[in-house]
Structure formats: C-alpha cells, structure tokens
C-alpha cells in the first residue's frame, strides 16, 4: 500500500512538472534562495539537510519517511514556498543549488 502511494505520488509530480512548465509556474518562479526541491517538499530546508539519509531508506518507503520526518511532501505552487532572509544571500543560494544538484 505504501509502495503504491509512493508510485502515484511520483507520477503526479511528473505530470505536475509538465503542466508547471507549460503554464509558466516552474522553478524559475520560486522565491530567490529556494531550490527546485521546494516544489516537492514544502519544508525544503529539512529535505536538503537529510536527503543523503533518505537514500538509506527503501525506495518504496521514502515517501512515508518524508511524511513522518515532516518534509511536507506535496504539490506546491511557487507562491507556497517560503524563504528566510538568510536563504537569499549569495552563499546560501549557491549552497542550496549545490545541494539540489549534487544531492547533499
């Protein structure tokens, strides 16, 4: 059941990504400082910090773990994503981009 929900979640994310781009609500509309990952995990700070640990979890259980660990997985609009002033600094933006690209 959890594996099925995980599969449906990622299929929905894929479809949403296609629609977002076509509608002009892709990652380019995110508040400065937020990585692409913020469109999947509203609590993206936690997601960036613990993404490497998530890889230790079976794929079929990863969505469950992100819910339990309060990453707030979902389908978020760019306007739903919050950033703090310190996230907007050049260093933080570079760090967040690097984490999103390299996975940690």
CB atoms within 10 A of CB 32: 10
83-102, pLDDT tens digit by residue?
A: 888 777 777 777 766 654 44
Structure letter (DSSP) for residue 87: G
Number of domains in the chain: 1
Task: Report d(CA 86, CA 22) in Å as an integer.
Answer: 31
Task: Report d(CA 90, CA 96) in Å as an integer.
Answer: 10
In contact, 91 and 33? CB cutoff 8 Å: no
Report the predicted TM-score, pTM, of the whole model to 2 decimal places: 0.79
46 is in which domain, residue-wise? 2-102
48-59, pLDDT tens digit by residue?
A: 899 889 999 999
| Predicted pLDDT of residue 92 | 75
């Amino acid at each position: 059941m959890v594996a099925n929900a995980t599969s449906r979640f990622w299929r929905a994310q894929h479809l949403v990504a296609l629609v977002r781009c076509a509608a002009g609500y892709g990652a380019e509309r995110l508040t400065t400082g937020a990585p692409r990952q913020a469109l999947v995990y509203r609590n993206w700070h936690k997601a960036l910090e613990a993404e490497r640990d998530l890889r230790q979890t079976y794929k079929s259980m990863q969505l469950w773990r992100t819910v339990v660990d309060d990453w707030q997985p979902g389908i978020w609009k760019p306007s739903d994503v919050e950033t703090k002033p310190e996230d907007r600094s050049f260093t933080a933006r570079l760090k967040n981009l690097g984490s999103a690209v390299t996975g940690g």
